[in-house]
Structure 1
Amino acid sequence: MVSEQVISKDEQPVFDVEIESTIDLLYGIEDRPKRWWETLFYAFQITLVDFTPFIWAGMFVSLAGLPDSIIPIMISTCFLAMGVGTIIQTTIGNRLPIVQGPSSSVLTAMGGVTATYGFPAMWGAVLVGGLIEFLIGQFKILGNLRKFIPPVVTGSVVTVIGFVAARISITWIFTNPNKIDLILALVAFLLALTLKFRFKGLLSNGFVLFAVIIVGVIIATPLGRYDWSAVAETPWFSMPKLFPFRGYEGINKPFILLGAAIIGGFTGYIGSMFESLGDYAATCAISKEVYRVKHINKGIAAEGLGCISSGLLGALPVTSYTQNIGIIAATGVASRLITQIAAVMFLFYGLSPKLAMMLASIPRPVVGGVFAISASLIMFSGIEVIMSEKQSMENNLIAGTTIGAGVIVPLFTATAGAAWVSTFGEFGRMYMSNNIFIAVTVGIVMNLLISHILVRPENKNPVETNKSQE
């Protein structure tokens, strides 16, 4: 008898059940639009939503106590890092349509490192952290732990990612809470809905791009909300170089290796990797791709390489971008080729500061109003993943606790618990403020405690649905 072919560990599904998505795909991962201009159109649409280097660069400079004169250089280097990291991920990484960009988890940790140990120590922490993340992927450490992250855990994490995306949207909408910006955000939101549901073809599929351009540029310009002066003052072209901050204001060394800085910086990498596990699952779910062990191992290894590249270019470390998952969910465009074209555009933005400034000058409330739709779809994608498993009291408790902790704990630490959390160490403060890190760890611990320790398989209590009770 011929033995059945054994599936390699890398090709094994992460979950025991196939997860179905209600997202209608226009283009799957392997698909390519027949018309070249359509490819460029969807790629440009991706870049309009994923241009948060302008947010993270400013946030990092504030945390690190650095002069604002660093921000323009870091914005350009972050765009270059996004392009390089996305190309690495979509070619030799897990080959999912994932955009890599500056990580809020890592930049928060690196801001503290820079403020304490200086700029060169921060770049050393970036490079070493990226190398460690690459080795974690290469040695398949996270992939071997997949039994502790079943659909109920991953779905809960994806749902929390949806809440984070919603928070990003709301933050952008209320960046400058005045009547004009709020009205622009509302008009963009309503226009995006109208284009999505009242039209067909390109207008419907490209609703994000059309809504942002019409409201954010055409309408915002006569209202004085689009900053053309900043665009005019920005140069067209700038050549990149390695370690661009060497020699800046007395910085003589490109980087130094300091143990305490490396440990402090790597706490951010831990949060970033946990976020990526949820992002990979969400991307697979909405792209109708089976979430396999290889996606975890290759994805994390590729992110490590992307972070090393970021350090060499003088950019913030990169991770998978939740915003892009929202774009796929909203448009049904999951083509890897389109994501790769978007990566080339990010490189172009990095080489052309003027083009990058054109995007950055679009009022953020406009982008936030449109992105609110994508955030909602991400959230429901997570719920779909949770519901793909048989309902039981155990799974309901795991999901409820994970989502509750992931959403509420950071809110508590930013408000009533701020003084208490300020007494924690750097890792503790980072953990208590990171929605995704909390969701992943709470989900894994709850699943281990309930499904593997407290409840025996024969004693699990399925929750009967209304249909079964009839």
Structure 2
Amino acid sequence: MPDHTVDPVDEKPPLARLLPLGLQHVLVMYAGALAVPLILGSALKLPKEQVAILINADLFACGIATLIQSIGFRGFGIRMPVMMGVTFAAVSPMLAMAADPSLGLLGIYGAVIGAGLFGILVAPFISRLLPLFPPVVTGTIITVVGISLLGVGINWAAGGAGNPRFGDPLYLAVSLLVLLVILGATKYCRGFFANIAVLLGLIAGFGVAFALGEVNFAGVAQARWVELVHPFQFGWPTFDLLAILTMSLVLIVVMIESTGVFLALGEVTDRTIGQEDMTRGLRADGLGTLIGGVFNTFPYTSFSQNVGLVGITGVRSRWVTATGGVIMLILGLVPKIATIVASIPQFVLGGAGIVMFGMICATGIRVLSRVDFRGNPGNTYVVAVSIGLGMIPQVSERFFGHMPKALSPLLHSGILLASIAAIALNAYFNGMRSGAAAVADATAAGREAETAH
């Protein structure tokens, strides 16, 4: 039985529950964790064995960064149920660096290490922006996070972007099956089985896909059982000032996005995120990025899709994601198991993705429900314009096609566009109140909502 005297975030479930709950978090973010090393490996035309090294290093560093973020160490880690993974915000500038013969992979690693050190240093300054996030801003950002991720889940359900059979009715049927199993388990199961509703859906979908011959186990036989991950396996990184500055700009984008993720997680877990908590969480993003550069991988961020999983299962324990971190670390050291897990088709993940990412949208809407729209019509414009701007990268990839490439990290992040717009419009309509007042209002509103429930 759970100890009700312990905060649900700090509760330590027994190992028999921790393992499947942690695995559930790993499966949810696994495809995203593999995507960036595959993209970079392809752009650099690396041989298959070197791409495998990138993937193993990525999983290994994912595990370390997740443990730091979830468990927390002196000055690092938000101590919340967070899974860490490579950020997609860095893909575009890294591809540009990969195309530059003077930089290449070693130049990318130098930029990642430099940006990681920069992130550790600036985390306290970024966290001071917390008072700029009253409920009208927070709710808008969380909603845009969910809507942005829904595109990923929908693409998964149809077979994954680039799949020549994209939209195959078979894919859609299996995705629907996964969705129905999750909904059925959520309604009719109790206790532990309700907590692993997403995992049950993925198992059911994987079983059907396997029976229909839709699971590709290519590469499993050739993969080694054990492969150690070494620092600087591709050689000593090279440090280019412009590349470091570019990656540092990307990391600022990532940290602002992480701010939205942490606030969303605070709403899901009913825990107020203070400035010190935010500093530790953002500092862990920087440290994770530094570790990524050392271990031959890329910048790390807190994965927002796992926030949706916390909302669905109701399991708030940070020790569950810490267990997920251990699993990721092991997968990085055992390539054969990692290859088997990577064989889960994207259309199996799709049904789960739609539920989880939709849950993040629902969390944002719940926050917005306590905003005064009738007495303060300006709040309506804050939400309307910010969501509209946040949708631009999702709806039209070429909208900013003629803008300078240096602005790409800003203009192609819907979450960042929505964040900047919401903060600016809130200041325009509601004024720049003291930080303490903004935080106090958000906290009081949260307590009122809890009392109402």
| TM category, shorter | 0.7 to 0.9
- 2:8 paired with 1:28: yes
Counterpart in the other structure of 1:231: 220
Matched, 1:281 2:257: no
- Aligned counterparts of 1:395 and 1:238: Cα–Cα separation in 2: 54
User: In 2, are the aligned partners of 1:27 and 1:333 still within 8 Å (CA)?
Assistant: no
In structure 2, the partner of 1:171 is: 155
Q: Give the corresponding residue for 1:215.
A: 205
Name the TM-score, length of structure 1 as normaliser: 0.84
- Residue of structure 1 in register with 2:232 after alignment: 243
- TM-superposed CA distance for 1:120, in Å, is 1.7
Equivalent in 104, 126, 133 of residue 142 of structure 1: 126
Amino acid at match of 2:209: A
Contact in 1 for aligned 2:126/2:255 (Cα 8 Å): no
1:308-327 superposed matches below 5 A: 308-327=290-309
Identity fraction in percent: 27
1:80 and 2:80 aligned: no
Which consecutive segments of 4 or more residues in structure 1 shift more than 4 A?
none
Q: When the two structures are superposed, what TM-score results if normalisation uses the length of structure 2?
A: 0.87
The 3-state SS of whatever aligns with 1:210 is helix
Counterpart among 159, 171, 174 of residue 143 in structure 2: 159
Shift of 1:437: 1.2
Q: Quick one: distance in 2 between partners of 1:45 and 1:95?
A: 19
The one-letter code matched in structure 1 to 2:326 is V
Indicate which of 402, 406, 409 corresponds to 1:427.
Answer: 406
Q: Distance in 1 between matches of 2:128 and 2:397?
A: 34
Shift of 1:412: 4.8
Equivalent residue, structure 2, for 1:365: 347
Whole-Å separation in 2 of the counterparts to 1:323 and 1:38: 21
Contact 2:126–2:279 under 8 Å retained in 1 = yes
Q: Tell me what 1:23 maps to.
A: none
Which sits farther off after the overlay, 50-59 or 75-84?
50-59
| 2:115–2:247 contact (8 Å) kept in structure 1 | yes
Q: Which runs of 5+ in 1 are unaligned?
A: 1-25, 247-253, 458-470
Q: In 2, are the aligned partners of 1:413 and 1:432 still within 8 Å (CA)?
A: no
2:449 corresponding residue in structure 1: none
| Alignment of 1:131 onto 2:117 | yes
Work out whether 1:402 is the aligned partner of 2:386: yes
Secondary structure of 1:101's counterpart equals strand
Structure 2 CA distance for aligned equivalents of residues 200 and 149 of structure 1:
36
Deviates more, 1:347-356 or 1:187-196: 187-196
**Paired AA for residue 139 in structure 2:** G
Match of 2:273 in 1: 291
For the Cα contact (< 8 Å) 2:63–2:327, is it kept in 1? yes
Q: Tell me what 1:270 maps to.
A: 252
Give 2:58's aligned amino acid. Answer: C
- 1:231 Cα deviation (Å)? 2.1
Residue 330 of structure 1 is aligned with which of 312, 315, 318? 312
Q: Return the alpha-carbon distance in structure 2 between the equivalents of residues 101 and 283 of structure 1.
A: 16
Residue 302 (str. 1) matches residue 290 (str. 2):
no
Q: Cα 1:221–1:410, aligned 2, differ >3 Å: closer, same or farther?
A: same
C-alpha separation in 1, matches of 2:321 and 2:7: 12
Give me the whole-angstrom Cα distance separating, in 2, the residues matched to 1:188 and 1:171: 15
Alignment partners' CA distance in 2, 1:55 and 1:173: 17
Say whether residues 1:118 and 2:104 are aligned partners: yes
Q: In structure 2, give the amino acid aligned to 1:264.
A: T
The answer to whether the aligner puts 1:195 opposite 2:176 as a matched pair is: no
What's the CA shift string for 1:259-279, capped at 9, x where partnerless?
121122223212211110000
* Range with greater deviation from structure 2 (198-207 or 324-333): 198-207
What is the CA-CA distance between 1:255 and the residue it aligns to?
A: 1.0
Rounded to whole Å, the distance in 2 between the matches of 1:428 and 1:151 is 28
* Structure 2: runs of 5 or more not aligned: 1-5, 438-453
Is 1:244–1:313's contact at 8 Å kept on the other side of the alignment? yes
Give the AA of the match of 1:314: N
CA contact (8 A) 1:155 1:383 kept: yes
Residue 181 of structure 2 contacts residue 204 of structure 2 at CA under 8 Å; is this kept in 1?
no
Is the 1:267–1:427 contact (alpha carbons within 8 Å) kept by the matching residues of 2? no
1:411 paired to 2:394: yes
Cα drift, residue 38 of structure 1: 0.9
The answer to whether the 8 A contact 2:109-2:298 is kept is no
Query: Structure 1: which amino acid aligns with 2:16?
Result: W
In structure 2, C-alpha distance between the alignment counterparts of 1:285 and 1:36, rounded to whole Å: 27
Distance 1:260 1:195 in 2: 51
The partner residue of 2:18 within 33, 36, 39 is 39
Distance of aligned partners of 1:47 and 1:453 in 2 relative to their CA distance in 1, 3 Å threshold: closer
Kindly tell me the number of residue pairs found equivalent between the two proteins: 413
Match of 2:357 among 354, 369, 375: 375
Report if the CA contact (8 A) 2:9-2:81 is conserved: yes
Structure 2 Cα separation of the partners of residues 335 and 208 of structure 1: 17
CA distance in 2, matches of 1:155, 1:57: 32
After TM superposition, give the deviation of residue 388 of structure 1 in Å: 2.7
CA contact (8 A) 1:303 1:319 kept: yes
Report the aligned-residue RMSD: 2.0
8 Å CA contact retained: 1:413, 1:433:
no
Is 1:104 the equivalent of 2:88? yes
The Cα shift of 1:453 comes to: 7.0
Partner of 2:3: none
Q: How far did residue 27 of structure 1 move?
A: 8.2
- Secondary structure at the residue paired with 2:219? helix
Describe the SS at the equivalent of 1:280: helix
Question: Which residue is equivalent to 1:261?
Answer: 243
Amino acid at match of 1:434: S
Residues of 2 paired with 1:345 and 1:370: CA distance?
Answer: 20
